[in-house]
Amino acid sequence: MKTGAKLLIESLQREGVDTIFGYPGGSVLPIYDELYDSPLRHILVRHEQAAAHAADGYARASGRVGVCLATSGPGACNLVTGIATAYMDSVPIVALTGQVPTTMLGNDAFQESDIQGITMPVTKHNYLVKDTTDIPRVVKEAFYIAGTGRQGPVLIDLPKDVNTRSVKEPVVPEKVVLRGYNPTYKGNKRQVDKALALIAEAERPLIYAGGGVISANASPELIGFATKLGIPVTTTLMGIGCIPCDHPLNLGMLGMHGTEYANFAVTECDLLIAIGARFDDRVTGNISTFAPHAKVIHIDIDPAEIGKNKRVDVPIVGDVKSVLADMLSSLKKAGACEAWNKKIRYWKQHHPLRAAKEDGCLHPQYVLAKMSEILKGDAVIVSEVGQNQMWTAQHFCFRHPRTWITSGGLGTMGYGFPAAIGAHFARPDLPVFDVAGDGSIQMNIQEMGTVAQYNIPVKIAILNNQYLGMVRQWQELFYDRRYSYTELPPVEFVKIAQAYGIEGIKVESCEEVGPAIKASLEHDGPFVLDFRIEREENVFPMVPAGAAISEMIGGHPRS
């Protein structure tokens, strides 16, 4: 006979789980009691939201399913932002929540919340387990659902009596069979042939690659496909890293804060090959003007995404890696139109991203460029959300997939620091940096307690401008500089870090940047870098809301 809690821990071990991010409470005490003697590593965070983000960061950096654990009621509810963040970016996590005993469900008992109902819109699937013997099957299904097809979060709600009840150990199914859930991995050959015919006819083709390429581990196939045909590649925020930053075909990010040449290329291409991307509004701007001259091929594992926002000429439902491999094996034409690539090279030469001004002040672009120069792509960079996120996307040179981790769809401030903690446990072989703003770091700053307790060597690089920077930028540009509630009082982050026993440096000049970054790398533990940057620096170029992506402000004069 085994308790439900025992069955749960054994089920997690069968799924290969090595790390759980969690916070204990009354309804999960039986689970924590089993964890006490378990080989599973448990990281005690300081807030349940951080547990969900850490599981998310672990999943993105490793490609494996991340796991978080919280108690019922407020604990479970505190996971919701993290679960929604994972859902919007198709990240595989399994969230375990405690629940009041089954006999008290619906009674508004102490710390009861209908977490199954609350998370229904932001999970790929969720379970309320009422029979202890179901635990092994439910765990196996949850990991299968989270990690297959279009990946995403799954929640398992476990009432306390289900965890404490002892039952005869049930037979664990060897294979998951779910009626109605059969993701399509192999692209339809007729559709693949149609796509290849369009590619052969195109004079100005362009690849638009999203996070689906990274989720599918399809970077080698993407690079091979683009290189063989000589087709330029622009990536979404989530797709950064799927092709090296310095690859000659890489145009960088497109969209609201994309490069000018990427946005020009989208506007003038005659064939857009969308791969694992979803045509979201931050990418397309005014959708009616997005790729106006192009036929569109859309490859995605989720059929619901195809045609949702943009009319598609050739849809291909399937796993990106599989479809690209099929296309590569059938290619007949090699080499895109030279005139098209010549035009793009001209744009790249005359419309580059603007580097930091050389005026003796500390600009964020300089900080990111110096960090990129020192790390050479051999690090995991996690960001918060806002200006810090966009400067990092623009000015850090990413060379490998799964080394850029950020909240794209939900845009969750406070995500970066705990996600960086999770990323460390996925990639302990690499330095992990959290690039933050002074606003976003304060949303989960309590996690300094976590990194201090476990000596987790996450480096926290704060681009400190004493503003909620991106909102202030919009107020400057579109609200006549009326900075309504976006100015923040100065904070001594190094002193806060020291209170937790963490070392740090305040950096106020360009000359100090390189030595400070190197000092953080040489330190065996967490480290805070407080960069006091120019307060009203903006992220450019920028496409105003509702405009076409060719209508950028802060760019170079069109030539």
Q: Which residues are catalytic?
A: 48, 110-111, 160, 470
Which phi-psi region, left, alpha or beta, contains residue 238 (left: φ > 0; alpha: ψ -120 to 50)?
Answer: alpha
SS (H, E, C) 21-87: EECCCHHHHHHHHHHHCCCCEEEECCCHHHHHHHHHHHHHHHCCCEEEEECCCHHHHHCHHHHHHHH
Q: Is 212 helix (H, G, I), strand (E, B) or coil?
A: helix
Q: Which helix (H) or strand (E) holds 273?
A: strand 271-275
Structure tokens at 225: 């496909």
Question: What number of CA atoms fall less than 13 Å from residue 372's CA on the CB side?
Answer: 19
Q: Are 533 and 362 in contact (CB under 8 A)?
A: yes
Amino acid sitting at position 226 = A
* Cα–Cα separations (whole angstroms), residue 459 to 20, 49, 512, 519, 526: 21, 20, 16, 10, 6
What is the rounded (10 degree) CA torsion for 392, 397, 402, 406? 10
Measured CA to CA, the distance from residue 85 to residue 396 in angstroms comes to: 23
What is the rounded (10 degree) CA torsion for 531, 532, 534, 535? 120
The set of residues, in sequence order, having a beta carbon less than 8 Å from that of 36 and lying 6+ positions away, is none
Dihedral sign (CA 115, 180, 408, 91) = positive
Axis-axis angle for helices 510-522, 364-375 (nearest 10): 40
Q: How many CB atoms lie within 10 A of CB 372?
A: 19
In 465-515, DSSP assigns E strands to 503-507
By C-alpha distance, which of 35, 163, 32, 156 is closest to 94? Answer: 156
Measured CA to CA, the distance from residue 339 to residue 342 in angstroms comes to: 5
The set of residues, in sequence order, having a beta carbon less than 8 Å from that of 12 and lying 6+ positions away, is 20, 40, 67, 139
Measured CA to CA, the distance from residue 9 to residue 11 in angstroms comes to: 5
Helix, strand, coil % in the chain, rounded to nearest 5 = 40, 15, 40
The CA-based angle 386-388-389, given to 5 degrees, is: 65
Structure tokens at 552: 């950028």
